[in-house]
Structure 1
């Protein structure tokens, strides 16, 4: 009888431990899927956008397009929801035109962004990543931003709201 009780206890322990392991594995798999989506959005951003929207420039004088952190701030100011933010960024990147520009100062300084041949799904991943995550910025950016916008972002002429 003692052997039967010991066998039941061992089988129960093994069953409980294997169920617990399965849940842990599922949780790990779930985290990998989330990480893959984040990594893919960041990789697309880094490989396709940072060539112009540089995070490694030494000064504002070296850039050829506004830093992506500035783009994010401006779009978040104009669009309250993630859905609207993503839709607007994707729309701009698919067909950039001066009359659609939110960042008029950037357009006057750098001209309109050249049309890119990105897939809409990739642009969506990039815009979602930008919306959901902290964006890298050049070391000089905060100082420059405060100089250009001492009273906040809406204080500069040429800023257009699109709500």
Structure 2
């Protein structure tokens, strides 16, 4: 495991360990602001469970083995305008990652569905909530790639007939 990451998490826990806030629960999703400790825990889960495949350190789009998490966040935010639905959808896909359950059809075409993982529901809720509530790291190439892929509307593989592939077929 990356030593810098471990040091960062340890410092975050040490510096924020006594700063816990109580939160209310609504369908298992916190509606109160997260404490620094809860955010540090969610970030640690996010990095250890997601970044192995959804890396932010790739130098080009050609190096990736799965779409970056910022792409997933943007796509799910387009579909779900509230945190509860966003979190439920992300968790549902991560628990049962089949092509027919996917929103990111272009990613499915390129990478196939993600392999089924042994995720805990609570961990996934924390990760999805973290993604929804926070700015997440973006690969250096992503914004340019995103603009290129979405210059005609949605993405290339979303099946809505507005992507770059649809523009060529007209």
Please indicate the TM-score interval, normalised by the length of the shorter structure: 0.7 to 0.9
Alpha-carbon offset, residue 87 of structure 1: 0.3
Match of 2:158 in 1: 158
Alpha-carbon offset, residue 155 of structure 1: 5.5
Taking only aligned residues, the RMSD between alpha carbons, in angstroms, comes to: 1.8
**TM-score w.r.t. length of structure 1:** 0.76
Unaligned ranges ≥5, structure 1: 1-27
Q: Deviations over 1:133-152 (max 9, x none)?
A: 00101000001111111144
Matches within 5 A, 1:24-39: 29-30=19-20, 34-39=35-40
Structure 1 runs of 4+ with >2 Å offset? 28-31, 154-160
Give 1 or 2: higher helix fraction: 1
Question: Secondary structure of 1:147's match?
Answer: helix
**RCO comparison, higher one (Cα < 8 Å, 6+):** 1
**TM-score w.r.t. length of structure 2:** 0.73
Unaligned ranges ≥5, structure 2: 1-17, 22-33, 161-170
Match of 2:70 in 1: 69
- Paired with 1:159 and 1:128, the residues of 2 have a C-alpha distance of 27
The structure number with the bigger radius of gyration is 1
Matched residues, number: 132
